[in-house]
C-alpha cells in the first residue's frame, strides 16, 4: 500500500493535504487524536457517522479535517496562500502523517 502525504491546490484558496494509505473512517479518529496530542490546538472538534467533519484552530489558522469514502482523510486550508502560511499548515500535516506512520493514535 502506497502511504504518502500529498498536497493539492483546488479552485480559489482551498489547499488540500491528503493522507494516502490512511483512507478509512477509523483513521479520522486517529488524526483527531494526533491533532489534540501533538499539535495542541486552541480549539478542536470533529465527528460524524459516515462522512466525518472536524476542525482545529491554532496560531490564528483554522484548518478543516474531513473524511469521506471517495477521498479518504484530508485537511483543508482556506486562508491566504502565502509561503509562510502554507509552510505552517504543511508542518502540521507532516506531524499528522508521521504519527500515523508510527501508529500513534491507535492507543
Per-residue pLDDT of the chain (107 residues; tens, 9 = 90+): 689 999 998 877 789 999 999 999 999 999 999 999 999 999 999 999 889 999 999 999 999 999 999 999 999 999 888 899 999 999 999 999 999 999 854 54
How many C-beta atoms surround the C-beta of residue 90 within 10 A? Answer: 17
Position 26 scores a pLDDT of 94
The strand pair at 4-9 and 15-20 is best described as antiparallel
Position 12 scores a pLDDT of 75
Nearest 10 degrees: Cα torsion 70, 73, 77, 78: 30
Query: The whole model's pTM is what?
Result: 0.92
Distance CA 6, CA 67 (A): 15
Check if the beta carbon of residue 16 is closer than 8 Å to that of residue 75: yes
Amino acid at each position: 500500500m502506497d502511504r504518502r502525504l500529498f498536497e493539492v491546490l483546488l479552485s480559489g484558496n482551498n489547499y488540500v493535504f491528503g493522507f494516502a494509505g490512511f483512507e478509512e473512517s477509523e483513521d479520522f479518529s486517529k488524526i483527531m487524536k494526533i491533532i489534540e496530542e501533538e499539535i495542541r490546538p486552541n480549539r478542536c472538534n470533529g465527528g460524524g457517522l459516515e462522512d466525518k467533519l472536524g476542525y482545529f484552530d491554532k496560531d490564528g489558522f483554522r484548518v478543516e479535517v474531513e473524511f469521506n469514502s471517495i477521498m479518504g482523510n484530508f485537511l483543508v486550508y482556506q486562508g491566504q496562500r502565502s509561503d509562510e502560511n502554507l509552510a505552517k499548515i504543511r508542518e502540521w500535516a507532516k506531524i499528522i502523517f508521521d504519527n500515523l506512520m508510527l501508529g500513534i493514535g491507535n492507543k
